[in-house]
Structure 1
Amino acid sequence: MESKELLKLQNGSDIRGVACEGIAGESVNLTPLASNIIAQSFAAWLSKKCGKPVQSLTVGIGRDSRITGEALSNAAIAGLSSCGVKVVDCGMATTPAMFMSIVFPETKFDGSIMITASHLPFNRNGLKFFDKDGGLEHEDITAILEGAVGLSEKSGKVSAQKFDLISLYANHLVKTIKEGVNSGDKPLEGLKIVVDAGNGAGGFFVSKILDQLGAETKGSQFLEPDGTFPNHIPNPENAKAMEAIQSAVLKNKADLGLIFDTDVDRMSAVLPDGTEVNRDAIIALVAAILAPEYPNSTIITDSVTSDRLTRFLEKDLGLKHHCFKRGYKNVINECKRLNKEGIVSPLAMETSGHGALKDNFYLDDGAFLAVKIVIALANAKAQGKTLASLIEKLDPLVEAQELRYKINCEDFGSYGDKVLEEFKARAEKAGMIMPKSYEGVRISFQSEDKKGWLLLRKSLHDPVMPLNVEGERVGDAKKILQVAQELLAGFDKLSK
């Protein structure tokens, strides 16, 4: 494959592409050939990183429920085996479990690969890579793709040991819950918890964790892996997906609902009355759980969190809110940086549901976050309290809107920078309040006429400028949006 073809597969710190036909206008570019040569290049990259001969490496490989997962996994196994790597086939797995395969003493792999495209449509797939330091960085993926240029597909004799990683991972989470609740072998007895796995890889959370610990899980749904995703998109941010888990909670009178994305590195929750706990609220809930153990600590979030979250974290929990950049690797790396500098930061979390704890290897792990919430639920019930009480002081969301302006020119990055520069200059000239922003331009409105905020930024990868607007009272969002549109007047290469 040519360099241009391969480099198009890079999506930040992951590899993603179209892996099968099925959607008009989308041509296949992530083939078994690509998976094979990329795996070969990863072997060479990992050998250099570890300082070990390729033949001394052990690499684990897993996949989610996507229909192209097995073919891409087999191709990657063949590519690794052709280099002399010892390959362990973990079968159906999750992204967090594949990182933990490097940590668990029973496995201690040198590196691992997860075949997944997270929440994307059924025709997409991808590869995520891990080494002892966690998920690879953007520049690492570029180096691996460049290293695959010119390589040819290799198969030969394929050797891969089978290993039930998901059971080992589940046992780790079971142990965590038992330690957190400290109430015998069935610490979840008396609790009704329903799970929506969206036909991804998260169904194990019911059979291997909740059921084992005594929870009643009747009403859990879409637990069987099915890469056609027949019920809803496996994405906690998707409206239909959230409606599905809300309905399951209400119908079964559950104490808690949990919903995962396809590869279980993201999650959201639902309270007994059907209230969704996602975006700002899921960050608030996890922060409230951690606050007693980490007083005065710093919570890292992406840039689109709201002013109401800042108020809750700082005024109600006594924490600090560091509103950083979009991108789960960005918030995780910032969390690592602060802790290294001696600034305690127990949590890095995006509104998308990606959440990483300092005490869990800075790993964005939806199942581990769910475990922390389940522990909090059990402990709250034992004290005669509710899970909802942890975030009862979080102001309700009144109005929120996101517009995505297309940048209609080839050099969209430079044009986006020009828009942001002028947008900021116009806001400054008008005397508007602009809090410190690590990406884009954020404006805060706290007058009697309008209360809320807006954020204009560039997309991480696409020729798009998202505009997020939030109003604190009915009608405020419309007024703030009008201000934004006035500040954007005259940019002829932007369109809705």
Structure 2
Amino acid sequence: MKAFKAYDIRGEYGKDLNKEMVYRIGYFLPQVLPMKEILIGRDVRLSSDEMFEALSEGLRDAGVDVADAGLTTTPMVYWGTGKYGFDASIMITASHNPKNHNGLKVSAKNVLPVGYDNGLKKLESLVDSDTKVEKKDKGQIRKLNMKPDYLEFLNQYKKDYSGLKLAIDFSNGMASLFSKDLFGDQYVALNEKADGTFPGHEPNPLEPENQEQIKEAVKKHHADLGIIFDGDADRVMFIDEKGNFISPDLIIALFAHFFLKDTTKKEKVVHDIRTSKAVGEYLSKFNAETVIWRVGRAYGATKLREVDGIYGGELAGHYYFRDFYYSDSGLLASLIMLNITDDFKKQGKTVSQLIHEISSYANTGEVNFRIEEKQKAMDAVVSYFKKQETPTAYYDFDGYRLEFPDWWFNIRPSNTEPYLRFLAEAKSQKLLDEKTQQVFEILKSFTA
């Protein structure tokens, strides 16, 4: 079934997902995850209410009680799952996808991510089977307002930001639920009203065209920092005071100034396989051990928990925190970033200066190649460079990452599409151009 992905269930509503399928997902989920009561939140997409009705009906027909949290951010559902001890939770959202899409993010007890490898595959099989629904004693449904408690939690990280000029793009998404509570009136607001038609721009802050408004606002209003959230507020990205987009992996390094500056304990920080080598080099100054792992919340959050890391992050703008049930939160990450920005402004340092101190590597960014024979193409690239020089580090999960003294690359397959994703970094632009040209030549024979 097309909607079942590696990390969640997601697709075009009415095509890849419909209310009958969502009902069956609700009905069969208790056969995958044992539960008596489940927490459900939803975003503001136009199909979210219908999906909630179908999902909760299926769950209740399976004898499960439902706690209806109403409109929430995805991280708010994660937090509520852990805080109130729910057996499981579901967030109805398509995150950063277009407005006609929707989906389901599933978590088990203790906020454990449920992906295709640990539950969704079995659920897909049940939903797609001929197994008929046999209704049990109907579960109850109750309203649950988590906002006051959640806000109290977030306020622990909030400080006086009156010395900062801010521009914030809420992408007409769920971060707007907390706009005034967390940021007061001390910011230039863009696309602040939650609106499932996303009139400002698509709620994907990684796409350059969706960054144009916030970049312009930062420059126009001489802001110290620009913040842009995705649709369900589990991701956040930042713009420096010059209006430049900051590569989200570099923020992982910057967070050391919040989490690691006053500790002598050797903490672990998790990052994905695409993360700049500069991040590990910078974190070593804080006595931190970096752990490289696979892309995606189902893997990143699980690995952070496994190694008991203090925090972690991804190139896609997810940031995970030990004190947030090892889960990701865009709002929490933004508060931490504001703390750091404010501290350094008082010392006369700008965000762009901080980022420059972290990395001077030349970077390709992630490049996509349409290739059907993904494994053969990856093996050809890896074989070519291993013959040229012995790698100083080699990782063979989530594709491959090969590191050499002056450059490194990651090549990995898309989980859902016929694409190879390639990223490289080098100590000079000339070396980067030379190496990437060699990669592109190898991949030419595999491109569709």
Q: TM-score, normalised by structure 1?
A: 0.81
Q: Distance in 2 between matches of 1:72 and 1:437?
A: 40
Work out whether residues 287 and 347 of structure 1, in 8 Å CA contact, stay in contact via their aligned partners in 2: no
- The 1-side partners of 2:182 and 2:97 are apart by 27
**CA distances 1:427-452 after superposition (whole Å, capped 9, x unpaired):** 22223535222433334455xxxx53
Q: Distance in 1 between matches of 2:277 and 2:336?
A: 25
Structure 1 residue 160, shift from structure 2 partner:
3.4
The Cα of 1:112 is off from its aligned counterpart by 1.7
Q: Report what 2:320 is aligned to.
A: 356
User: Is 202-211 or 140-149 further displaced after alignment?
Assistant: 140-149
Structure 2 counterpart of 1:204:
177
Quick one: percent identity of the two aligned structures? 27
One-letter code aligned to 2:95:
S
Q: How does 1:87-126 map to 2 (within 5 A)?
A: 87-104=66-83, 107-126=84-103
Alpha-carbon deviation of 1:329? 2.2
* Cα deviation code 1:378-413 (max 9, x no counterpart): 4445666655565452124544244322233xxxxx
CA contact 2:64–2:138 (8 Å) conserved in 1: no
Pair 1:383–1:366, CA change in 2 (3 A): same
Amino acid at match of 1:34: M
Q: 1:369 to 1:312 in 2, by over 3 A?
A: same
Partner of 2:27: 40
Describe the superposition over 1:294-328 as per-residue Cα deviations: whole angstroms up to 9, x where unpaired: 554332211112233333233x4443333322223
Could you tell me how far 1:487 is from its partner in structure 2? 4.3
In structure 2, the partner of 1:136 is: 114
Shift of 1:176: 3.4
Q: Any residues of structure 2 matched to 1:255-266 within 5 Å, and which?
A: 255-266=224-235
Question: Deviation of residue 114 (structure 1)?
Answer: 0.6
1:358-387 CA-to-partner distances (Å, cap 9, x unmatched) read 222101111111122223334445666655
Contact 2:425 2:432 in 1 (8 A): yes
- Structure 1 residue 220, shift from structure 2 partner: 0.9
Aligned AA for 2:377? V
* Aligned residues of 1:287 and 1:299 also touching (Cα < 8 A): no
Question: Which of 368, 372, 375 is residue 417 of structure 1 equivalent to?
Answer: 375
Equivalent residue number for residue 247 of structure 1: 216
User: Which structure ranks higher in relative contact order (CA pairs < 8 Å, sequence separation ≥ 6)?
Assistant: 2
Counterpart-to-counterpart distance in 2, 1:459 and 1:209: 36
Residue 45 (structure 2) pairs with residue 15 (structure 1) = no
Q: Which residue of 1 aligns with 2:434?
A: 479
2:447 is equivalent to residue 495 of structure 1: yes
- Asked if 1:30 corresponds to 2:17, the answer is yes
Q: Deviations over 1:22-81 (max 9, x none)?
A: xxxxxx1200111111011123433x3x5xxxxxx2222111121211111111122222
CA contact (8 A) 1:399 1:472 kept: no
Please state if 1:429 is matched with 2:387. Answer: yes
Distance in structure 2 (CA, Å) of the matches to 1:475 and 1:431: 18
| Partner of residue 3, structure 1 | none
* RMSD (Å), alpha carbons: 2.8
Letter in 1 for 2:333: L
> How many angstroms apart in 2 are the aligned matches of 1:406 and 1:272?
36
Aligned to 1:194: 167
Instruction: Say whether 1:237 aligns with 2:218.
Output: no
CA distance, structure 1, for counterparts of residue 348 and residue 425 of structure 2: 35
Question: Counterparts of 2:293 and 2:43 in 1: how far apart (Å)?
Answer: 30
Deviation of the 1:332 alpha carbon: 2.2
* Mapping for residues 294-313 of structure 1, pairs under 5 Å: 294-295=263-264, 296-313=266-283
Contact 1:455 1:468 in 2 (8 A): yes
Residues 123 and 158 (structure 1), Cα distance of their counterparts in 2 relative to 1, 3 Å cut: farther
> Residues 369 and 359 (structure 1 numbering): CA distance in 2 closer, same or farther, change over 3 Å?
same
Q: Report Cα offsets for 1:468-489 as digits up to 9, x if no partner.
A: 2334333333211222134446
C-alpha contact 2:250 2:276 (8 A) present in aligned 1: no
1:280 is aligned to 2:258: no
Query: Larger deviation: 135-144 or 355-364?
Result: 135-144
**1:294 & 1:124 partners in 2: Cα distance?**
44
Deviation, structure 1 residue 228:
1.9
Which structure would you say has the larger Rg? 1
Q: Name the CA distance, whole Å, in 2 between partners of 1:70 and 1:397.
A: 46
CA distance change for structure 1 residues 281 and 431 in 2, over 3 Å: closer, same or farther? closer
Give the TM-score, by structure 2 length: 0.89
C-alpha deviation, 1:244, in angstroms? 1.9
Q: How much does 1:281 deviate?
A: 2.1
Write the distance in 2 (CA, Å) between the matches of 1:87 and 1:444: 49
Please, which of 157, 160, 166 is the counterpart of residue 176 of structure 1?
A: 157
Question: Hey, what does 2:293 align to over in structure 1?
Answer: 324
Structure 1: runs of 5+ lacking an equivalent: 1-6, 21-27, 51-56, 182-186, 340-344, 409-414
State the aligned residue count.
Answer: 442
Native 8 Å contact 2:361 2:428 kept in 1: no
Say whether the 8 Å CA contact 1:324–1:438 is kept in structure 2. Answer: no
